[in-house]
Structure 1
Amino acid sequence: MTESEFLDLSDAVFAQVEMALDDVDFDVDTLRAGNVLEIEFEDGSKVIVNRHAANQEIWLAARSGGYHYRLIEGQWINTRGDGELFADVATAISAHAGEAFSF
């Protein structure tokens, strides 16, 4: 995939996360700055989603650790083990918010 295609796809990921968080009842703030989407919770903790264009990966940082995802057959799959980006982001958000979250 070209860099432009990757940027478009990762922008869509950021937008999907932001839209899902707009619909929740718990206190959460999002800030998108360039290649980074910060999700900040009431207690000050954060989940960070960012894109790494050179590797064409999306990275996730949360209390549980750091993860890398690559687009494989239409899904963002963890490059270092099991997991899919949206499922893992939902799990991280739930852990930080202390409330259930899903896409």
Structure 2
Amino acid sequence: MLQHGGDVEEREFLALADAELARIEAALERLQTATEADWDFEIKPGGIIELDFGGGGKIIVNRHAAAREIWIAAKSGGFHFRPPAGSGEPWRDSRAGASLDETLSRCIAQQSS
């Protein structure tokens, strides 16, 4: 698994980040199907997921290879997530410690209301 604080292999990070972004994409598709979502999303090149909300708001989820993090940019702020320390662990916010899933769910709920 990734070693924080040291030189992380970019290939390893990209593989983990791409797998996480694919998992998020699948979860967003399921959520849209199961609910009357007032938002849509688009996958963009370079590891970017862009969620568009009815009132013109956006949430951007992207991998940031230089920082070895996945970032979320939302109306409520910017959040940076580090790769899991072990198998089965979630990506965690580098400041608050919340999981990526918890934070993204909260951001979607806030921007949907």
Regions of 4+ moved over 6 Å: none
Report the structure number with the largest CA radius of gyration.
2
The structure richer in strand per residue is 1
Aligned partner of 1:62 in structure 2 is 74
What's the % identity of the aligned pairs?
A: 40
SS of the residue 1:75 aligns to: coil
CA deviations over 1:22-51 (Å, ceiling 9, x no partner) = 122213222222132111112221111111
| 1:27 aligns to 2:42 (yes or no) | no
TM-score (norm 2): 0.76
State the Cα distance separating 1:81 from its structure 2 match: 2.1
| RMSD after superposition | 1.5
Structure 2: which amino acid aligns with 1:30?
F
TM-score (norm 1): 0.83
Runs of at least 5 residues in structure 1 that lack an aligned partner in the other structure: 99-103
Runs of at least 5 residues in structure 2 that lack an aligned partner in the other structure: 3-8
Aligned partner of 2:102 in structure 1 is 87
SS of the residue 2:83 aligns to: strand
Structure 1: which amino acid aligns with 2:73?
A
Question: In the TM superposition, what are the counterparts of 1:39-78 in structure 2 within 5 Å?
Answer: 39-73=51-85, 74-78=89-93
Distance 2:27 2:39 in 1: 11
SS of the residue 2:12 aligns to: helix
